[in-house]
């Protein structure tokens, strides 16, 4: 029951095609449509096979740079198989949202930001676990480092200097060190300090009454007094007191100089109402991504000003009111949905009776295994027995996968072992964006990796095969074909193009025949 209950924030597999790998998404919202169906608003994650080759090279360069930055690389050398499977675990986060039917959910998975302190092999040891470190923009076709990096590791630790001995000179640059702003052992009592702060607030209120722009923003006395009581006024008063050696008379004279009372404003007062509305709109769209907020909504504001305003804005009634509205809105939305286990037959299943494509009612019973039709082994693990077989890859190649490798293909978007057929697929253009218009013509159907899908009911391709090519063999090769005919078995080898031929045995047999 719990495994089939999906909540907001879960990472899940979505199926949009019976032959393509699952989509990996994060549920942001669960909404009920007018027809009673449940739709999930999701964040899109992309695989390596979904992006262009140039961006893959950029991602590999970024991974190499991260590896070089590690001061003490203690990880063991990865084998070719582990490197191959690790590529299937890498994802790319995007800021793109889409809505998908909740009935297309096929299970849960786990996606995490790449942890530099954790061994990459740990992602291979966990089932249905993925990682990401870059953000992919499907519109601009760009890759950027995720700004949400958790700064963990030796290069983020502070270097603590040795303690100076008695009488030892301090050679550090004093301008780069901290400056003392307040002395808790000052000669003033707490009552005297509080009285000085009250005077500073009163001066701030009077200064706002004299200022024309402030009287427009705070038309009432109460609003002016509240603005004068903010931290910026108190910080200025205490800083003034510290700079004048805690002499009250000297500090008071500075609060009201000859030109009039000092007016201290923070970001809450400096921002106009239109700028505040723009900030709230940007915060709704980007969250706390202040760089994007500044770039798209408030380019005339500095990043420091935006961040300072954000933390002041969180103390206002406006923030509390918006938080209550969001809480009430979230209360009315669905928090979880139950999706039963999907057990309908896959159109790519191959019947075990005659080796043709057929729709069956599920996998074979427990303990029963069937040999691959026509003697063909699994394209990934080369197994010859499986409870169920699935057609995979280009139809003219007649490739098949066993149950285990088929589930690996659906979840991870690749084969367990490197294959020539898979390599050809990875070099093809990525799948189109979700918002692109798809052709409704009567041409042959194609998968997302631009490989034609086999029509159900016939193993033959509905598309024309590629143009044939001629292999120019040497005279020695032609001679070996005739002399080692029993060992080579040409017809059998032609039907199994991915099964390796023992060239060493053929050379030895050919030499012995020639010598005799």
State pLDDT tens for residues 313-331.
888 888 888 888 888 877 7
3 state SS for 139-158: CCCEEEECCCCCCCCHHHCC
User: What gap in Å lies between CA 257 and CA 6, rounded to an integer?
Assistant: 65
pLDDT of 108 above 90: yes
DSSP character for 435? T
Cα–Cα distance for residue pair 396/217, rounded to 1 Å: 75
pLDDT, averaged across the chain: 78
* The predicted structure's pLDDT at residue 213: 66
% of the chain residues with pLDDT over 90: 20
Model confidence pLDDT, tens digit, residues 32-44: 888 888 999 999 9
**pTM of the complete model:** 0.55
What's the pLDDT score for residue 387? 87
User: 470 or 126: which carries more pLDDT confidence?
Assistant: 126
- Residue 225: name the closest of 200, 259, 255, 193 by CA: 200
Pick the more confident residue, 365 or 408.
Answer: 408
pLDDT score for 91: 93
Inform me whether the pLDDT recorded for 375 exceeds 70.
no
d(CA 65, CA 60): 9
DSSP classification of residue 32: E
The per-residue DSSP string of 362-418 comes to SSPPTT--EEPGGGPPPTTT--SEES-EEEES-GGGTEEE-HHHHHHHHHHSS-SS-
Q: What is the DSSP letter of 105?
A: E
Within 13 A of 498's CA, how many CA atoms are on the CB side? 20
State pLDDT tens for residues 415-448.
Answer: 988 765 555 444 444 444 444 433 333 333 333 4
Residues 6 or more apart from 382 whose CB is under 8 A from it? 417, 499
pLDDT category at 73 given cuts 50, 70, 90 is low
Q: Which of 46, 34, 119 is nearest to 76 (CA)?
A: 119
Tokens 């040999």 found at: 371
Neighbours of 238 (CB within 10 A): 17
User: What's residue 93's pLDDT?
Assistant: 92
pLDDT at 150 over 60: no
Instruction: Measure the CA–CA gap between 329 and 96, rounded to whole angstroms.
Output: 22
How high is the pLDDT of residue 468? 62
d(CA 206, CA 228): 9
Q: How far apart are CA 227 and CA 198, in angstroms?
A: 13
Q: Does residue 453 register a pLDDT over 50?
A: no
Instruction: Name the more confident of 436 and 128.
Output: 128
Torsion angles phi and psi, residue 359, rounded to 5: -90, 120
Cα(200)–Cα(256) distance, integer angstroms: 9
Scan for tokens 């007018």, then name that residue.
Answer: 34
Number of neighbouring beta carbons within 10 Å of residue 272: 9
Indicate the pairing of strand 129-137 with strand 105-113: parallel
Q: Which two tokens stand for residue 329?
A: 């809105």
C-beta of residue 350 within 8 angstroms of C-beta of residue 389: yes
Q: H helices within 173-230, ranges in order?
A: 190-210, 212-217, 221-228
Whether the pLDDT of residue 492 is over 60: the answer is: yes
Tens of pLDDT, residue by residue over 167-177, are 888 888 877 88
Residue 148: pLDDT band by 50, 70, 90 thresholds? low
Region 209-223: mean pLDDT is: 66
Nearest to 94 by CA among 25, 28, 40, 13: 25
pLDDT of residue 466: 54
Mean local confidence (pLDDT), 245-252? 89
Which phi and psi angles does 136 have, rounded to 5°? -105, 130
* Weakest mean pLDDT among 34-43, 48-57, 66-75, 343-352: 66-75
Q: How far, CA to CA in Å, does 46 sit from each of 54, 79, 292, 304, 489?
A: 15, 25, 22, 33, 44
């Amino acid at each position: 029951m719990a495994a089939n209950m999906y909540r907001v924030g879960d990472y899940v597999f979505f199926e949009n095609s019976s032959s393509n790998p699952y989509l990996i998404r994060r549920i942001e919202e669960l909404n009920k449509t007018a027809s009673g169906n449940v739709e999930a608003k999701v964040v899109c994650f992309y695989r390596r096979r979904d992006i262009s080759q140039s961006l893959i090279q950029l991602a590999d360069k970024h991974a190499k740079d991260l590896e070089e930055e590690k001061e003490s690389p203690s990880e063991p050398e990865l084998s070719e198989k582990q490197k191959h499977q690790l590529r299937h675990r890498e994802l790319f986060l995007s800021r793109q949202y889409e809505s998908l039917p909740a009935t297309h959910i096929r299970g849960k998975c786990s996606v995490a930001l790449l942890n530099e302190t954790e061994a990459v092999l740990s992602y291979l040891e966990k089932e249905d676990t993925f990682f990401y470190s870059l953000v992919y923009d499907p519109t601009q076709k760009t890759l950027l480092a995720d700004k949400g990096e958790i700064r963990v590791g030796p290069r983020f630790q502070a270097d603590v200097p040795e303690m100076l001995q008695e009488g030892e000179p301090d050679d550090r640059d004093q301008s780069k060190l901290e400056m003392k702003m307040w002395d808790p052992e000052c000669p003033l009592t707490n009552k005297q300090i509080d009285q000085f702060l009250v005077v500073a607030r009163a001066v701030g209120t009077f200064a706002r009454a004299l200022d024309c722009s402030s009287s427009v923003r705070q038309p009432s006395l109460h609003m002016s007094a509240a603005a004068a009581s903010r931290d910026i006024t108190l910080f200025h008063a205490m800083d003034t007191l510290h700079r004048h050696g805690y002499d009250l008379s000297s500090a008071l004279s500075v609060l009201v100089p000859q030109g009039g009372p000092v007016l201290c404003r923070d970001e809450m007062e400096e921002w106009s109402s239109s700028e505040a509305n723009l900030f709230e709109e940007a915060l709704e769209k980007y969250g706390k991504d202040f760089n994007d907020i500044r770039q798209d909504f408030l380019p005339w504001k500095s990043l420091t000003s935006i961040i300072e305003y954000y933390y002041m804005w969180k103390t206002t009634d406006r923030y509390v009111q918006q938080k209550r509205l969001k809480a009430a809105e979230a209360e009315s939305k669905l928090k979880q949905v139950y999706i039963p286990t999907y057990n309908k037959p896959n159109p790519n299943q191959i019947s075990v009776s005659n080796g043709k494509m057929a729709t069956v009612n599920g996998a074979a019973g427990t303990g029963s295994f069937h040999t691959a039709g026509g003697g063909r082994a699994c394209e990934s693990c080369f197994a010859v027995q499986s409870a169920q077989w699935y057609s995979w890859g280009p139809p003219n190649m007649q490739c098949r996968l066993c149950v285990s490798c088929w589930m690996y293909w659906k979840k991870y978007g690749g084969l367990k072992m490197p294959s020539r057929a898979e390599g050809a697929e990875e070099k093809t253009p990525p799948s189109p964006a979700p918002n692109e218009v798809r052709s409704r013509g009567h041409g042959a159907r194609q998968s997302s990796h631009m490989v034609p899908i086999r029509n159900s009911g016939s193993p033959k391709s509905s598309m024309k095969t590629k143009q044939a090519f001629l292999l120019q063999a040497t005279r020695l090769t032609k001679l070996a074909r005739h002399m080692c005919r029993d060992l080579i078995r040409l017809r059998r080898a032609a039907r199994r193009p991915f099964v390796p031929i023992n060239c060493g045995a053929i050379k030895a047999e050919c030499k012995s025949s020639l010598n005799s």
